[in-house]
Every structure is written in structure tokens, then in C-alpha cells.
Structure 1
Amino acid sequence: MEKTSEKVDKGGLCLEDHISGLPDVVIVSILSLLTMKEAGRTSLLSKRWRYMWTHITGLNFDALHVIYEVLLGNKELEVERPLYLSWVNQVLKLYNGPSIDQFRVQFDLDESCRFDIDNWVNFAIEKRVKRLELDFPVSWGSTGYNFPDTGRITNHLHSLSLGFTICNSLTNLLLAHVNVTGQVLEYFLTNCPFLEQLSVEASDCLVNLKVPNVSIKLKCLEIIYCHYVESIEISAMNLVSFKYFGPKIGLPFKNLQEPVEMYIGGEYCKYLIYNFLGISSYLSQLESLTLHMNSIKNSIGLAKFPVFNKLKQLELRISAIENEDLMVFAPLIEACPFLYKFVLELQLSKFVRRKRRRFTSRPHQYLKVVEFIGFAGLAIDVELAMYLIKSAVMLEKITFDPRNPLLIGSPWEFMETKEKKTARKRAKYLGTKLPAGVALVIL
């Protein structure tokens, strides 16, 4: 590549093209900030720009918008899938960069695409990829990528097809809606010594996983919506973040330092809530905790919590019906004396109206930021909001967001409903209960 400058004749005036005068490495950096299709369009600017985009460091083949169009009935998967395969293959054929920072594929691909997928993975590894992401969400039924319980296409990634022994470049591996076994994951962990993040979502083939002690660089492990997991053993000494949503398993931690961030959901969440005291030694350094459960009933009961002296952020992701009681989480909030931020993400599955219950509150000296996502303005969440308004004596900001959590990021995210309007009215009412100086945000 060479450094040149060009002049453009516009209306009899000769204007110098300062962008084309920049060094190639700077232009490539700028193009890397664009989407793949935007970067590709710059090839029409001039001869110099024709192949400039083929050196960008990030190959992001995100086509989630097409999947939404299929869901809406505006496009057909049988037509779009071959077009997607052709697009990716054509870009890889033209690519001239020596290495890539990110290789991301996101589209509804099935077993018939295995040959292409294997070639893409091998291409990325040969280009010394740092961040490899494969995401194959389905495009029928619901949005599919949130709770992939049924109707999942079987996509397999086999270790025999990977074609590499050692990959010193890979730092992040994310596999979503890819049926991958524990054996394959251990293959990556063993042969990618600098892997820092491993994320697996919605794999029906994952049953047992052992994270070997050779994974000294691994900092973040995420295993979510893998509903057939039976055991996980982690020996990664430097792990600081553990995210798990799935069936009940034994304590996964072995020979490692206490995690700083934890996300726990599914059946394992209920088990953990009743066993927090038994594993408190593993939680002494915890700064961020997210609990994700599909129901409140029988999930808290008489559970006792250790004191989380370092916890700064607590997030509850709850699916519930209106007559359930979020106030059962008050003891957990009070067990976090230095909590700075509290987030509730509420998904109401059924409306059974009831009256608000009375409660007592204890002063909380450090809680300053509160967020309600999926705020309905009903007894179930208004009670908790009032509790936090009264107890958080140093509160600085409270946000009420009436959007359905499952629809955030989708075309239906901002669809206006009667329920949202009602929720905003209730949020305004709660705003009148705030002390002077507290910022109220209603989305």
C-alpha cells in the first residue's frame, strides 16, 4: 500500500482530498470502525480505495437485522442463507490483511453449512485471530437468541475439523447456539494458551466440562442456557468472572482465587441461594452479583445470606407473576452494606392484581443508583421501589424503564402499549416520593 493524495474537481474548484492523503494504516483503522458493508462501499471512491477495505482488522458478519426481517415475514430464510454464505466467502476470498483482531459470524446457519463454517474457522485461526465469535440464532418462533429451549437447529463444531495444534493469538472465544462438546472446549483451552474469555451459549451437546489448570490466562468463563450440563470443574487460577445459567451442578470451583463477578441463573440459582453460607469463603472478593431466576416462589423462602462486604452491584433478573413478592429480596439487599448500584430486570408473565403490602425498611448508607427495567408500575415492583426510596438515604438517581427486557434490541423494543403508558404514570407518582436532589429518569 502507498500514501497518496488526490484532488477532486467540484464546480470548477479543485478541492484536495485530505482523507486520501492520510497514511494507509490510518485509513484502514478508520475503515475498521465501519460495518463490513459500509467499508466495502468505499471501494467505489477511487482506484486507491478499491482494495483498502480488504485490510481492515475486524471482520464482523453480523446479519441479525436480516433474521428480524425473516421473523417479520419480509424475507425468506431459503433465499437469504445462500446470499449470506456467498457474502462471507467472497469477502474472505478478497481479504489481504495479515491478521485480524475480530472474526464474527451471526446468522441462522444449519448443518448443511458445516463445510463453510469449518473453512471460516480455519481462515480466522490462520489469520491469527484474537476474538472469534460464532452465533447461529434461529429465525422462527420467538426471537430465539434469548431463551433457546426448543426448536434449536443442530450446529456442530468438531475438534477434528479445526486443523490447528497451537493458537497463540486467540484471546476471546464466543460460541452461541453452536452445539459444542466439553471435549472440543477443552481442546481450545489446551491449545490456546492466551485465551482470556470463553463463552458458550445454548449448546445441547455440552454435558461435562473441565477447565484445566493450564488455562492460566482465562479470566472470564460463561456457560449459559446449556440445559444438559451435569458438571463443571474449574481450575483456572486467574478466573475473575464466572457466569452460569443452567441445571443444578456441584460447586465448580477448584484451586482458584475468589471471583470478582458472578452471574448465576436457572435451577442452579435456586440451589445457590440456599447455600450461600456454605460457599461464603469463595465470595469474599465478590463485587458484582447477578441472580437470574424464572420464578420467585420457593426460590428464597427462609434463605440466609452471608455479609457481602465488597459487593458494589447487585442485579436481579426475575420472571414472575404480579401477585408474587419481590420484597423477599430485601434481606439480600441488606446483606450488602456497601452496595452502590441495584438493578431489577422484571419480566411479568401473568397479571394477577393484588394490593400493596406494608413493609419496614433499614437505612442503606451507600446505595446511590437504582434501575428498574421492565417496570410495570404494579404492586410487585412499586413495593420494592418504595422500599429502596425509603431505605437508600444517599440515593442519587433512580431509573424506570417500562420496556420488555426480552424485546430490548429487537424491532419491537419501542413499541408503545397501554401498559407502558400506565407504568410511566406510576413512575411519575413515585418521583413525588423522592427526596430533593435525586434524579428521576423515565424512559
Structure 2
Amino acid sequence: MSSNVDDRLSSLPEEVITQILSLMPTEVAVRTSILSKQWRYSWTSVTNLYFDDIHGRNLSDVYYVNYKLEVDRFTKFVDGVLKYCKTSQLKSFRLKFSFICVLDVSVSKWIDLAVRLNVRELDINVLELDLPLSLFTCKTLTSLRLAYHEHESWEFPSCVNLPCLKTLDIVVSDNPFNTAFKIIPGCPILENLSLDLAIRQNEHDYIFNIPTLKRLELTFRSIIDYVVNKVVLCLPNLKHLLVFGKIRSHFVMKDVSSLVDGETPSALRYYLPMFPNMTHLELNSFWHCGQILEFLHCCPVLKHLCIGEKLGKANWIDHPKLVPACMLTNLTTVVISNFNGQKCDIEFQEFLEYMLRSAEVLETVTITWENNMLCERLCATLLELPRASRFCEIHFIGN
């Protein structure tokens, strides 16, 4: 570039430069200090701190060549950044260490410093984790995500108090009653909760009694196949429920009267309450056609139905006499994904024929094939089926 060209980036207002640097990985932001004297300390005002152990690195070096050197270098780098960071309101602080194992004492110190900088969003994904007591009484924290790989229990103060926390996301490798369930009672305005739980044999029920909660996502990783846990939901303001994993749980819907959106595995099929406000439903993991119909009876205002993974073969009754209320007045969209055209043809045709004959306001049925071979015979058969709704279209996705 010509020497006569103005440096328009450096002429930007300081707050704009700070915003740009805050959007970068912290290591990149710090490197701008070598550009000129003017830029030497610009990075110290960033409001987002993001440390990632693999950013811009050769993983073979991290694993084999300079592992200890890399850990020491990274530890000193984070220490230095926090020492010179001069912001009084840290918007977000993120640590993601997937390959190097930083001492939990160092991680605890960094989190404590972030709390002292009035952090609002905290995202910690490390191999070892020891949380400072100051975290559990942070008055500015609005979002907290914790993921770690060692089996540990945290030390808690006598009273957890996170008055501004709205989002809590925890991956728990061990007993959640020593970690996550001690945090939840101290969050008076919690709206979003995501728990990734490793289910083990224990005597405790998983009770969720959170009046303010609007979204709940549960992922169960069963360590022992015969473990059966009881999950009690008393969530009067819950609007979105997502449940994943290998589950052998008894779900008790004590109060989910506001639920409008759900995504569930087959484990919930044996304990079906009414969902008077649910408008969007996703069903995964081997739901039988008959069981799907049973679920529809529990969702009188359902508008959108998504059936994922595979359809089972059992429990279908030809031409059921009672039509779910949602099919008469609300159900407009049905999506069936990953369907295998070589299996369940007869039952699937009967099930879809029943829906097309009964769903009076249905607008779109979309079928995605599991493999690249689209069964033309089945497509032709489905297209010829009579439809209660004259506006209904059937779409096929495949080769």
C-alpha cells in the first residue's frame, strides 16, 4: 500500500476498537500490541476473554513434543492477560482446555479474578476443575457453563447466591447431587437449564422444582443398564423440554402446564401426561406408530410434529376410532426424517393414510429417506392416498 494511505483502522474511536478486539480470540487481540505504540495497550480494555488451548497450534506439538512447555507458557499467558486487563465489567470469560491439563489451582484463581472483574458470562471447559467460593456468590453472573472431565465434588459456601443467573449449563461426570443440584436452589431467576448427567445407581430422585424455568434440556448417560431413576418436573412456566440419551427413567409431570415445545426419546412414552399448551413436538428413538398416536391425544393444540430416527412396527391398530383433537383443528406440519423405505412399509402406509384421512388442517407432510435410494413405489402409493385437507402437500427428500 502507498505510504499516503491513511490508517483508518487506527483512527476509529477507542470504544469501537475495543469492541473489535473483544470479538477476537484473546491471543489474537494481544498480538495487536506490536502494531504500533498507539495499539500497545488497546487490548487491555477488551470485554471478552477467550482462551483456547488449540487455537493456532499444532496438536502433535501439544501432545508429544512440548507438552510441559506449552502448559507453562499458556499458564503464564493467562496470568499476564488478567494482570493487565483494565476493564471494570467483563462481559464474558471462556476457558477451553481440551488437550492440556492446567492445574486446577490456576483455573480457580482465574475464575476468581473474572468474578472480581464483574463477569456476566462464564464458560469453563477444562480437564480439572476446582471452583473458587467467590463464584457461588457472584452478583453479576447471568450465564454459567461448566464442563469438566475429572470426578470431583465442589466446595460450596453455606449459601449459594447467584441473583442474576438466568442460564445454567453443566456437564456432570459424577454425582450431580454434589454439584449441579447444590447450585440450582441459589438461582432465584433461573430460566434456562441444561444438564448432561452420568446416571449411576443412587437413591435420590431427580426433582426439578423451579418456578421461573422456561427451558429444560436433559441428557442422560446411563452407566448401568438396570438403573431406573425417577424424574419429577414441577415447572409451571416451562415452555421448552428436550430429553436425550439412554434413559430408563420414570418421568412424573407434576406441573408443566405452560409447555409448548418438546423433544423426547422413547423413554417418556410410558408415562404420558396432558400437554395442554404444546405446539411443537419432536419424537426420537424408535417410537411405534401406535405410541405416536397416543402422544398426539395428549397434545390438543399441537401444530408441528417431527418424527426422527426410526419408526417401530408394533402397537398400530387399523383405523382407530378416536381421532386426536390436534389433528382436527391444529396440526399443520408433519416431518418424518431418516425413514428407511425398505422397512415398516405396510404399517407406515397405514399410519400415514390414517393421518391424511383424519388431519383436517394439514398443510405439509415431508418425508426424508434414511438412505440414498428413494422407494418410488412407496412414494407413488402415498401420493394416491386421500386427504382430509385439500391444501395438504406431500414432499419427498432423497435422490
TM-score by length of 1: 0.65
Alpha-carbon offset, residue 108 of structure 1: 2.5
For 2:166, the equivalent position in structure 1 comes to 196
The residue that corresponds to 2:96 in the other structure is 106
In the alignment, which residue of structure 2 is the partner of 1:127?
Answer: 117
> What is the match of residue 283 of structure 1?
256
* Cα distance between partner residues in 2 of 1:431 and 1:101: 56
Query: Aligned pair count?
Result: 368
- Measured in 2, the distance between the counterparts of 1:340 and 1:37 equals 47
Alignment partners' CA distance in 2, 1:110 and 1:180: 17
| Rounded Cα–Cα distance in structure 1 between residues aligned with 2:158 and 2:397 | 44
Cα pair 1:56 1:97 within 8 Å, conserved: yes
Q: What is aligned with 1:314?
A: 281
Tell me, yes or no, if the aligned pair for 2:229 and 2:249 is still in contact at 8 Å: no
CA distance in 2, matches of 1:189, 1:290: 34
1:245 aligns with 2:232: no
Once the two structures are superposed, residues 174-216 of structure 1 have per-residue CA deviations (whole angstroms, 9 ceiling, x without a partner) of 11234576764x6597132222222221321434535665531
Structure 2 residue matching 1:346: 3-state secondary structure: coil
Aligned residue in 2 for 1:260 = 239
1:217 maps to 2:180: no
C-alpha deviation, 1:285, in angstroms: 1.0
Against the structure 1 CA distance between its residues 33 and 156, is the aligned structure 2 distance closer, same or farther, given a 3 Å change threshold?
Answer: closer
* CA distances 1:304-358 after superposition (whole Å, capped 9, x unpaired): 633322112222342x6xxx8465323213432322333444389xxxx999x99
Q: Percentage identity across aligned positions?
A: 21
Query: Structure 2, unaligned stretches of length 5 or more?
Result: 221-226, 384-390
Q: Does residue 336 of structure 1 match 2:299?
A: yes
Quote the residue 1:77 is aligned against: 63
Code of the aligned partner of 2:362: M
One-letter amino acid of the counterpart of residue 387, structure 1: L
Whole-Å separation in 1 of the counterparts to 2:5 and 2:114: 40
1:210–1:234 Cα contact (<8 Å) kept: no
Structure 2 counterpart of 1:206, from 149, 164, 176: 176
Tell me the distance in 2 between the aligned counterparts of 1:113 and 1:90: 14
Aligned 8 A contact 1:266 1:292 in 2: yes
Instruction: Give the 3-state SS of the residue equivalent to 2:6 in structure 1.
Output: strand
Give how far 1:286 is off: 0.8
Counterpart CA distance in 2 for 1:88 and 1:427 is 60
1:227 equivalent in alignment to 2:233: no
**Structure 2 Cα separation of the partners of residues 397 and 315 of structure 1:** 14
Partner SS, residue 198 of structure 1: strand
Assess if the C-alpha contact under 8 Å between 1:121 and 1:162 holds in 2.
no
Contact 2:48 2:92 in 1 (8 A): yes
RMSD of Structure 2 on Structure 1 (CA): 4.5
Does the CA contact (< 8 Å) of 2:122 and 2:144 recur in 1?
A: yes
Is 1:395–2:363 an aligned residue pair? yes
Matched to 1:292, the amino acid is P
SS at match of 1:216: coil
In the TM superposition, what is the alpha-carbon distance from 1:367 to its structure 2 partner? Answer: 3.6
Query: Residue in 1 aligned with 2:223?
Result: none
| Distance across 1 between alignment mates of 2:51 and 2:339 | 34
Displacement after TM superposition at 1:116 (Å): 2.3
Residue range with higher mean Cα deviation, 168-177 or 384-393: 384-393
- Confirm or deny: 8 A CA contact 1:173 1:198 kept in the other structure: yes
1:167 aligns with 2:138: yes
The AA in structure 2 aligned to 1:238 is: T
What CA deviation, in whole Å up to 9, does each residue of 1:80-131 have, x standing for no partner? 7653663464145133433321112222267762222222212221221111
Larger radius of gyration: 2
Q: 1:379 to 1:360 in 2, by over 3 A?
A: farther
Q: How far off its partner does 1:25 sit? A: 1.0
Give me the TM-score of the superposition, normalised by structure 2.
0.71
Q: 1:44 to 1:188 in 2, by over 3 A?
A: farther
Q: Any idea what the Cα deviations from partners look like across 1:254-293, whole Å, max 9, x if unmatched?
A: 6x63422222345656422xx5xxx3x5122111222135
Higher mean Cα deviation, 357-366 or 96-105? 357-366
Q: Is the 8 A contact 2:243 2:263 kept in 1?
A: yes
